[in-house]
Structures are given as C-alpha cells and as structure tokens.
Amino acid sequence: KEVIVDSGWSDYVFDESYKLKALSETEAFIKAEKHLPGIPSAKEVAEHGVSVGEMQAKLLAKIEELTLHVIEEEKRIARLEAENRTLRMKIEPNQMP
C-alpha cells in the first residue's frame, strides 16, 4: 500500500532569495560536523528518531541544491570551453577546424 505523508516541501530552494551555500562551505561543514548541513547527525537520529515526511523534504532540498550546483558548473564549463576555443584560435589560427 502507499503511504501519504502530509508535510512541507522544498521548492523554496528555487526561490530567488534562497542563498545556496558554496560547495566549499558545505565541505567545511562536513569536515567539522561529519554530516550534511540541515540534515540531522546519526547521533541525533539515534537519540530522537526522524520524521519521515520532514526527512523526505530535507533530502529533496539537498537534491535541488545539487541540481542548482550542476547547472552552474555546466554553465561554467561552457564558458571555459568557449574561452579555450578563442585562445586556441589566437595561438594556432590555422590548426582549428
């Protein structure tokens, strides 16, 4: 059977006012705390349990954040590739297809 959990949702991540943490900030948090920001630690879950609906919303927020990071990285790669082509044409104008 299907279980329906009535909970808040995570589309707030796509709001213009949402501050997406830099991956370097997330890395520093993980190194210090040994878990993702906004996600309870294993110790907290062991002591207090976890709300399935709340955790689903938090996990979706993390997926949405990762999606935004991937989109930005794709744009960055495209800019770098275009810059690379331009520079290569200046260096080797007769070698480019």
pLDDT tens figures, 60-69: 999 999 999 9
At 32 the pLDDT is 98
Please tell me the predicted confidence (pLDDT) of residue 92. Answer: 85
Contact 26, 34 (CB under 8 A): no
pLDDT of residue 97: 58
DSSP letter at 13 equals: G
- Look at the pTM and tell me if it is higher than 0.85: no
Which of the 8 DSSP states describes residue 20?
A: P
Which contacts of 53-56 are long-range, i.e. CB under 8 A and separated by 24 or more positions?
53/5, 53/6, 53/7, 54/7, 54/8, 56/5, 56/7
The ranges of the chain with pLDDT < 70 are 95-97
What's the CA gap between 71 and 77, in Å, rounded? 10
